[in-house]
Chain A
Amino acid sequence: MFGQANVLAQGQAEFPPSVEDFYLPSILPWGAHDSYWFTKITFMVWLAVGVLILFFLLSYRNPQLVPTKKQWFAESVYGFVRNNIAVDMIGHAGVRFAPYFTTLFCFVLMTNLFAILPFFQVSPNSHIAFPAFLALISYVLFNYIGIRHHGFKKYFKHALIPPAPWYILPLLIPIEAFSTFIIRPFSLAVRLFANMFAGHMLLLVFTLGGFAMLSANSLLAPVSLVSWLMTVALTLLEALVIVLQAYVFTVLSASYIQGALAEEH
């Protein structure tokens, strides 16, 4: 977990940063480069899960009609996703998806948050495996719900054939199929992954760039300072991106489910 700090301290940091900076040596076995079962990344995932479970179970161990502060906070998170995402996007039927959306939202938010937490400084979502798995669940979920709601044939007819004149359909059907069944899960995963990847890369560039300039010429120290100030500013921007991407991921999943449930095209 402290790999980056060690690297910085030993002056081994490579500039410019590369993709390999995202793949730190594994924790168990220590230092291995080809073992992925227990790395900083997977540790952070488990940590996020543990913190979320602990927080929600503790704050909702003994729910009261008049909530305590902690209970109120936990309820606000759920209430926000329930009312502002599930019900707003899907309508009253969305309430039954609210628990999943809230879990999804909290998980993405928490794992994203590691991108700017001191000593962690990298989000698990900058490895595409995690966004891909979440996107896969959303993909399976909206197709399953659509098929169960409309029946297999009607769902695909509904999804593939837009209300358009017949002569344009040969063009529209492939586009619809491509966008709904291929682009959707892919874009969902890549959007989150790329945001977190790029965010980490930017922070690396400005942090390591400062060190690189300082070690190249001590006269460049003021520029290094500017570079590090940029890191602080970009960290604030990251904070925004973290929340926004968690929200967007959840909203898009909700929107796909809404599309699968919709009666009209």
Chain B
Amino acid sequence: MYLLAAEGGEVAHNPILPIWQEIVVGGIAFIVLCFVLMKFVFPRMEQTFQARVDAIEGGIKRAEAAQAEANKLLEQYRAQLAEARTDAAKIRDDARADAEGIRQDILAKAREESDRIIAAGKDQLAAERATIVRELRTEVGTIAVDLASRIVGESLADEARRKGTVDRFLSGLESTGAR
């Protein structure tokens, strides 16, 4: 070793003593490395980590919000459905009540109408009857008088008219008939 050192004209190295040129070179190299990595790489990694955390937490939050919204909508729909059911029942009840009312109305009207028709028929019958009776009375009187005249041979017509004999007779008939 010493031989070599003598040949090369160099001094023997002491491994525990740093070579100042190497400190300078190593220092510059390491500072360059520090500068580049600490300025351009690792802060961006922190940002990415943060963004990742945000993305995951945001996703969870969004899912929770969606879940809450869905639950709210479900509740709403349920409430609406219940309301609709109540409404439907009410409408049905109302309709039933209305139908009943209408039926009653129609029934009442029909009864009234039939009563009216019957009453009108009765009145007409009575009137016709009265007319017929009146006509019959006249006719029967005339016929009877004619008949009696033929039988008796004399005209009784004036006499009969004058004294109301026929009417009286007929009234007597009617009263016996009614009895």
Among B30, B42, B43, the residue within 8 A (CB) of A133 is B30
- Chain B nearest CB from A144 CB (Å) reads 15
Identify which of residues 200-223 in chain A touch chain B, using a CB-to-CB cut-off of 8 Å. Answer: none
State A21–B14 Cα separation when bound (angstroms): 12
- Chain A nearest CB from B87 CB (Å) reads 51
Looking at the complex, which of B3-11, B120-128, B171-179 is the stretch in contact with chain A? B3-11
Question: For the complex, is A6 an interface residue (Cβ under 8 Å from B)?
Answer: no
A18-B1, A52-B33 known; A129 and B45 CB under 8 Å? no
Q: Mark A53-71, 1 if CB is under 8 A from B, else 0.
A: 1001100100101010000
- Chain A nearest CB from B96 CB (Å) reads 64
Q: Check if B10 sits within 8 Å of A34, measured CB to CB.
A: yes
A23-B13, A33-B8, A45-B29 known; A65 and B55 CB under 8 Å? yes
Give the chain B neighbours of A48 by CB distance below 8 A: 29
Q: Which residue of chain A has its CB nearest to the CB of B3?
A: A14
- Chain B nearest CB from A44 CB (Å) reads 10
State A155–B48 Cα separation when bound (angstroms): 36
Question: For the complex, is B12 an interface residue (Cβ under 8 Å from A)?
Answer: yes
A63-B45, A197-B15 known; A57 and B21 CB under 8 Å? no
Give the chain B neighbours of A133 by CB distance below 8 A: 18, 23, 26-27, 30
Q: Check if B42 sits within 8 Å of A107, measured CB to CB.
A: no
Q: Check if A132 sits within 8 Å of B30, measured CB to CB.
A: no
Give the chain B neighbours of A19 by CB distance below 8 A: 1, 12-15
Question: For the complex, is A151 an interface residue (Cβ under 8 Å from B)?
Answer: no
Q: Which residue of chain A has its CB nearest to the CB of B36?
A: A53
Question: For the complex, is A128 an interface residue (Cβ under 8 Å from B)?
Answer: yes
State A53–B30 Cα separation when bound (angstroms): 11
Looking at the complex, which of A97-105, A115-123, A234-242, A248-256 is the stretch in contact with chain B? A97-105
Residue pairs across A and B with Cβ atoms less than 8 A apart, 29 shown, are A14-B1, A19-B12, A19-B13, A19-B15, A33-B9, A33-B10, A34-B11, A37-B21, A41-B22, A42-B29, A45-B26, A46-B29, A49-B32, A57-B36, A57-B40, A63-B44, A63-B47, A63-B48, A65-B51, A78-B41, A103-B34, A107-B33, A127-B15, A130-B22, A130-B30, A132-B18, A133-B27, A193-B15, A197-B15
List 10 additional A-B contacts (Cβ < 8 Å) besides A20-B12, A46-B25: A60-B41, A63-B45, A100-B38, A103-B33, A107-B33, A127-B15, A128-B15, A132-B23, A190-B16, A197-B15
State A201–B26 Cα separation when bound (angstroms): 22
Q: Check if A130 sits within 8 Å of B26, measured CB to CB.
A: yes
Q: Is the interface of A mostly helix, strand, loop or mixed?
A: helix
State A193–B47 Cα separation when bound (angstroms): 36
State A48–B27 Cα separation when bound (angstroms): 13
- Chain B nearest CB from A69 CB (Å) reads 15
Q: Check if A37 sits within 8 Å of B13, measured CB to CB.
A: no
Give the chain B neighbours of A126 by CB distance below 8 A: 15
Question: For the complex, is B151 an interface residue (Cβ under 8 Å from A)?
Answer: no
Q: Which residue of chain A has its CB nearest to the CB of B38?
A: A99
Question: For the complex, is B152 an interface residue (Cβ under 8 Å from A)?
Answer: no
Which A residues form the contact surface with B (CB < 8 A)?
14, 18-20, 22-23, 33-34, 36-37, 41-42, 45-46, 48-49, 52-53, 56-57, 60, 63, 65, 67, 74-75, 78-79, 95, 98-100, 102-103, 106-107, 124, 126-130, 132-134, 137, 190, 193, 197
Which B residues form the contact surface with A (CB < 8 A)?
1, 4-5, 8-23, 25-27, 29-30, 32-34, 36-38, 40-49, 51-52, 55
Give the chain B neighbours of A193 by CB distance below 8 A: 15
Q: Check if B45 sits within 8 Å of A78, measured CB to CB.
A: yes
Give the chain B neighbours of A98 by CB distance below 8 A: 42, 46
State A126–B48 Cα separation when bound (angstroms): 37
- Chain B nearest CB from A197 CB (Å) reads 6
Give the chain B neighbours of A107 by CB distance below 8 A: 30, 33
Among A20, A22, A53, A75, the residue within 8 A (CB) of B45 is A75
Give the chain B neighbours of A100 by CB distance below 8 A: 34, 38
Interface centre among B10, B19, B25, B48 (most CB of A within 10 A): B25
Q: Check if B25 sits within 8 Å of A37, measured CB to CB.
A: yes
State A74–B47 Cα separation when bound (angstroms): 14
